[in-house]
Structures are given as structure tokens and as C-alpha cells.
Structure 1
Amino acid sequence: MAKRCVPVTVRWSDMDAFGHVNNVQVLRLLEEVRVHAFEDLRDHGGPSLLESGVVVARHEVEYLAPLVWRLAPVPTDIWITAVGGASFEVGYEIYDDDEDGARTVYVRAATTCVAYDLGTGSARRLSDTERDVLESWTDEPVPFRRRSR
């Protein structure tokens, strides 16, 4: 089971003066999706990554279409694109599918997360349980239009 869909609610206050969801608020929406997904570790006998410790080291975001407020949650796919010793890459796609099956993608993003020891304040290795769960979510890299240089 690689990609999973986490519906996320867009708040009225997420919109900016241009009438679409502000770029900073998009990062908050992605954070909410990550929080829900990381709780899945609890279902596999381990603590949530939020309890065992994880920090964000990097974000890459492509804004492809304006996302505006609406009452219905917006579907957001989340998956893992790579797992290292202490870090892992998370991929996202915020989108809508219409009744004809056409997809409008609003945002594609990637986040580098690092397992973190809250007691020592430093990076730590992923546990075997964390690694197994994260690897079960692995799918293709985020299909950015333009890669970083």
C-alpha cells in the first residue's frame, strides 16, 4: 500500500488577497496530512513518529493551479519516495478529480524528514518498525515539472 489519500480541510482564512490559498498555508495543509499519516505507525505496534521524534529538513513545492476555499475537503495523496538511515522523503499531490476522471493538480511537493531524538536534540536512526512502515508506503518520486538544480 503505497500512496494514501488524506482529505484535508481548507479554511477560509487560508486564502490571501489574491483569492487563493496562500503558499505558507499550503505548507500547513501538508503538515496536517503528514501528522495524520505518521499516526499510522501506532497501528503497527510502534509510537507515532510525532512521539518518537521527527523534524522537517527541506521542502520543495510546485504550485500548478490556484487552490481556493471550498466546504468539501481537498484530497491529498501522500507517499514515501526514499528511506535512508535517519531520513526519508515524503511526496504529496493536492488535487481534484472531476466526474469524467480528469485530474486538476493544485500542488506537488516533497519534504525531507529526519528522525530526531527529542532527548539529545540530534538526528537518530530510524527504528526497524519505522523503516518497515515507511518502506511499505514507497512509490515513485514526485513528478515535478522542473527539478531543482
Structure 2
Amino acid sequence: MARHVYRCPLRWSDMDAFGHVNNAVFIRYLEEARIDLTFRLAPGEGSDSFAGGSVVARHEIDYLRPLVHRYEPVTVETWVTKISAASVHYSYEVKDEEHVYVRATTVVVPYNLAAGRPRRVTAEERAFLETYRDDERTEEAVAV
């Protein structure tokens, strides 16, 4: 299994009144990692893959422990657990060397912005996403 690794900085504004990263901010961390995977690392220049747009259909997040603000970035590992004709399921872990803070999944639907409707996953997109695919859940993930 190949996981995409994104180093995500923590911002001062990410903190809540209790001194740790606010729960809603984690969705932004997941988005940054997913966008880094699909747009920065997508198939070669000149490709239309991933350029047409996408919409998030679902987020599921397990908050495992509070993340206190600090200056060192956290790591967001991202991988693909399912690719259907018209959706992609991503899984994530937000962690550092010592702890996993969040485990999450997101269902993304490719979207044709010009037509205003969902579209199919292209063959080029599928081939790229397959390199990050892992259908198996780790024992650690099952324990949550």
C-alpha cells in the first residue's frame, strides 16, 4: 500500500478556547492533504484529470486525542479505500511520531462544474488513484 504523506502546518488560528486544535479545523487538514494528492500529484501536465471539480459527499471523523498547538507540522497520511464508477473513498490519519490524533474517511464525487452534475471517474484518474489504494483496514484502525 502506498500512502500519500502531507506535512500540515498548525496555525495559531486553529486553536479553540481550550488551547487545542478545534475539531472543525481537522476537516481543513484533510482537505489540504487530499487536494495535495489529487491536484499536485495528479497525472502529467496537460491532463484534464481532476480539473473538472469534485464535491464532498460525506466525512466521517474519529477524534482520538486532543492536538495541542505547536510549531511543528503534523503528518496527514492519505490513501484510497474504494473507487466506484462515480465516487472515491479516501482514508486518513493525522499524526506525529508519537500519536494518532484523528482517523477519518471522505467520500468524494467527481463533478462537472460546467454541466452542474456529477460525472464518472475517468480511466486516467482511476489509474492514478489505484497507486494509493488499500482496501484493508489496519489492526490499529479496527481498534478505534
User: Which runs of no fewer than 5 residues in structure 1 stay unpaired?
Assistant: 98-102
Q: Where does residue 29 of structure 1 map in the other structure?
A: 29
What amino acid is the match of 1:23?
A: N
Question: Between Structure 1 and Structure 2, how many residues are aligned?
Answer: 140
Stretches (4+) displaced over 2 A: 42-48, 140-146
Deviation per residue, 1:61-119 (Å, 9 max, x gap): 0000111211121111001010000101001001111xxxxx41000000000010111
The alignment's C-alpha RMSD in Å is: 1.8
Is the 1:46–1:130 Cα contact (8 Å) retained in structure 2? no
| 1:144–1:43 CA distance, 2 compared to 1 (3 A) | farther
Alignment of 1:44-63 (within 5 A): 46-47=47-48, 49=50, 51-63=51-63
| 1:141–1:81 CA distance, 2 compared to 1 (3 A) | farther
Q: Where does residue 86 of structure 1 map in the other structure?
A: 86
Aligned-partner SS, 1:6: strand
Cα distance in 2, alignment partners of residues 27 and 5 from structure 1: 16
User: Which runs of no fewer than 5 residues in structure 2 stay unpaired?
Assistant: none
Q: Where does residue 71 of structure 1 map in the other structure?
A: 71
Q: Where does residue 9 of structure 2 map in the other structure?
A: 9
Is the 1:108–1:144 Cα contact (8 Å) retained in structure 2? no
Cα distance in 2, alignment partners of residues 48 and 106 from structure 1: 32
Cα distance in 1, alignment partners of residues 28 and 18 from structure 2: 18
Offset, 1:44: 7.2
Aligned-partner SS, 2:96: strand
Offset, 1:53: 1.2
| 1:43–1:71 CA distance, 2 compared to 1 (3 A) | farther
Q: Where does residue 133 of structure 1 map in the other structure?
A: 128
Aligned-partner SS, 1:34: helix
